[in-house]
Amino acid sequence: MRILSVQSSVAYGHVGNSAAVFPLQRLGHEVWPVITVHFSNHTGYGEWRGPLLAASDVAEVITGIGERRVAGPDGSQVSVLATADAVLTGYQGAEDVGQVVLDAVARVKELNPSAVYCCDPVMGDVGRGMFVRPGIPEFMRDSVVPAADLITPNHFELDFLAGRETRTMTEVLDAVDAVRERGPRTVLVTSLLHDEVPEGHLDVLAVTDEGAWTVTTPQLPISPNGAGDLTSALWLAHLTTADSVPAALSATTSAVYGVLRATLESGHRELRLVPAQDEIVHPSELFEARRVR
C-alpha cells in the first residue's frame, strides 16, 4: 500500500508517526509521513521541546506531495495523491489541523475513490478522562469520525462517540452499531473491558459489514505511549492485505502484544519497536479471533 500518514512526530521514543511509519515499512508498505508537531519526546514526560506546526504548514506539505507527478495506470501523469491507497491519522491537536486532515482525505478520495481513511480518534482513556483540548472531542465526533472508513477508538472513546456507557458485550456492539451508522463501516475497539472479559485480560473487538470478532489477550502491566498508534497502523495494513477480518484482527493483536511484552521485559518506558521488529512481521504468540456476531 501507499499511505499518507498525518500525525505527530517525536525525536525520542515512539508515538504518532514515530510509532506508525516504521512498522508499516517493516511490513513492506510505502508511507508518506506528514508531521503535525515535532517534539523532542512525547508529552507524557511532562516536559518537551519543539514546534507545533501551523495548520497552514501541514497543508503546504500535503499540497507539495500532491504536486509531484507519477505515471498513472494508463501511462499518463497523475498526482502522487492519486496513487494513495489510504490516509492514516491519530491525535489532532486543534480543529484547524483537523480541517486540513479532512481536506486531504477529500482530495485523496477525489483522485482515488477506492482509497480509505483510517482514523484513530484520540481523545481520552479510562482513568484519565479527556486529555485533549476542549472542543476537540466534539469535533472528532461530529466532523472527523463521520468522514472515516475505519476508526480505532479505545473503550472510553467508543462510549463518548456513542453517547452511552457500556458494560456488556451486547452494549458494546450496540454502541459500535450506533457509531457505524454515522459513517465508518469498520470499527476496531481497543483496550475493551466488559463484564464478560476474564480477570487479567482485555478484548479487542472488530466490527465490519461482515460481522463482529474479538480477540482476548492477557492484560500486561504496561501502557506505553504510542501503543494505540501502533495498533491503528497495523490494523490498517492487515485489514487490506489479510485474507479475512478475523485473520487481520489476529495478526494485529498478536503483533501489538508481542511488542508490548518485549517492552515490558526490557524495562524500558518507550515501545521497543526496533528490537522487537520481528514481532511485527512474525508474532511469536498468535491469538485467535472468535466470532461474537
- pLDDT, one tens digit per residue, over 181-224 is 999 999 999 999 999 999 999 999 999 999 999 999 999 999 99
- Rounded CA-CA distance 51/93 in Å is 13
CA distance 254 to 93: 30
Burial of 120 (0-12, 13-18, 19+ CB in 10 A): buried
Stretch (H or E) spanning 89: strand 86-89
Q: Give residue 92's domain range.
A: 2-291
Please count the structural domains in the chain: 1
Given the DSSP bridges, would you call strands 77-79 and 124-125 parallel, antiparallel or unpaired? unpaired
How far, in Å, CA of 251 to CA of 154, rounded? 18
End-to-end Cα, the chain, rounded Å? 30
Q: At what angle do helices 55-67 and 95-111 cross, to 10 degrees?
A: 10
pLDDT tens-digit readout, 110-166:
999 999 999 999 999 988 899 999 999 999 999 999 999 999 999 999 999 999 999
The confidence score (pLDDT) of residue 4 equals 98
Task: State the cell numbers at 59.
Answer: 497543508
Ranking 16-25, 92-101, 173-182, 254-263 by mean pLDDT, the lowest is 92-101
pLDDT above 90: residue 93: no
pLDDT value of residue 254: 98
36-59 pLDDT, tens digit per residue, is 999 999 999 999 999 999 999 999
CATH assignment at residue 57: 3.40.1190.20
Tell me the average pLDDT across 3-29: 98
pLDDT confidence tier of residue 230, bands split at 50, 70 and 90: very high
Adjacent-strand bridge partners of 31: 3
Q: Mean pLDDT throughout 219-247?
A: 97
Residue type, 254: S
- Mean pLDDT over each residue of the chain, to the nearest integer: 97
